[in-house]
Amino acid sequence: MSSPAPLPCPTTPPAVRAAGVRLVRGDRTILSGIDLVVPRGSITAVLGPSGSGKSTLLAALTGELVPADGTVEVLGQAVPRKQRALLELRKSIGVLLQGNGLLTDLTAAENVALPLRTHTRLPRPVIDRLVRMKLHAVGLRAAADLYPRELSGGMARRVALARALALDPPLMVYDEPLTGLDPIASGVIMSLIARLNASLGLTSVIVSHHVHETLPIADQAIVIADGRIVFTGTPAELAASHDPLLLQFLRGEPDGPIAFDAAPARTARPMEAH
């Protein structure tokens, strides 16, 4: 497990605070009654089965989805609804996407440089130096001139991480960072997340269903199921829980309180054979 997060100053708001949040897509409520605090400097793991609403929660943190009810605050301010203010806030949030989002016709270095060229007026030599520093931080300085098609899955994920760090955001958000990676690459990514969080003084929110890979580096664990938060506490407290719902998820058992969607039942013929 990572080192305990430094205690914030009493007057410093948490990195993320959600209160009474209800999130809706179309006419369907995805999450409701969401109360959440992410302390500054911590690594928070948001866990849950696929389709439980983890990525929907991230969409609320980044302002992509406006809550139907409740409030979301990020880095001490309510997530803005006006586009200009929202874009400013997003510069303070680094996001690592499931699919990396690398532009295939740009080299690794050019991909990392893209946020710097878009959002700053730094001269080219300064940007080039910053790009080298970011690639070095993820162990890929030698891959600067390679294109995404020339990178392994783990390398591409690290380039995407370097790009997410380009503007030195105080808050990092990881959406299923281990998707499609082998066990060795997964271990490298999780180790990097922990090391960068500590060395750069970041706050990290990791959305994942990879429980056993994510919990060892987390300070706080949150489990989402059945459209709500069903657990908040330390990884040790989660591991010690005897709650049947949590045990089903942690053990990967097919039967239990967490229902898995099946084909919708038809009602036309009540005696239809199965």
Is 139 contained in some domain?
yes
What pLDDT does 273 receive? 40
The residue-averaged pLDDT of 56-73 equals: 94
pLDDT beyond 60 at 7? no
For residue 136, what are the domain limits? Answer: 99-168
pLDDT beyond 50 at 249? yes
What pLDDT does 99 receive? 78
pLDDT beyond 70 at 272? no
Is 224 contained in some domain?
no
What pLDDT does 254 receive? 66
Is 80 contained in some domain?
no
pLDDT beyond 60 at 260? no
Place 23 in a pLDDT band, splitting at 50, 70 and 90. very high
pLDDT beyond 90 at 160? yes
Angle made by CA atoms 183, 220, 60, in degrees to the nearest 5: 90
What pLDDT does 271 receive? 39
Is 195 contained in some domain?
no
Place 238 in a pLDDT band, splitting at 50, 70 and 90. very high
Residue type, 78: A
Stretch among 170-184, 206-220, 238-252 having the lowest mean pLDDT: 238-252
Query: What is the spatial distance between Cα 223 and Cα 54, in angstroms, rounded to a whole number?
Result: 9
Judge contact between 205 and 171, C-beta under 8 A. Answer: yes
What pLDDT does 10 receive? 55
Residue type, 191: S
Is 270 contained in some domain?
no
pTM over 0.95: no
What pLDDT does 270 receive? 41
Is 143 contained in some domain?
yes
**DSSP letter string, the chain:** -PPPPPPPPTTSPPSEEEEEEEEEETTEEEEEEEEEEE-TT-EEEEE--TTSSHHHHHHHHTTSS--SEEEEEETTEEPP-SHHHHHHHHTTEEEE-TT----TTS-HHHHHHHHHHHH----HHHHHHHHHHHHHHTT-GGGTT--GGGS-HHHHHHHHHHHHTTT--SEEEEESTTTT--HHHHHHHHHHHHHHHHHHT-EEEEEES-HHHHGGG-SEEEEEETTEEEEEE-HHHHHT---HHHHHHHHT-SSSSS----PPPP-S-TT---
What pLDDT does 263 receive? 41
Is 130 contained in some domain?
yes
Is 64 contained in some domain?
no
**CA 267 and chain centroid, separation:** 40
Stretch among 160-164, 250-254, 265-269 having the lowest mean pLDDT: 265-269
Number of domains composing the chain: 1
Place 216 in a pLDDT band, splitting at 50, 70 and 90. very high
Per the model's pLDDT, the better-predicted residue between 68 and 4 turns out to be: 68
The residue-averaged pLDDT of 205-226 equals: 93
pLDDT in tens, 117-129: 999 999 999 999 9
pLDDT beyond 60 at 268? no
The residue-averaged pLDDT of 223-243 equals: 92
What pLDDT does 193 receive? 95
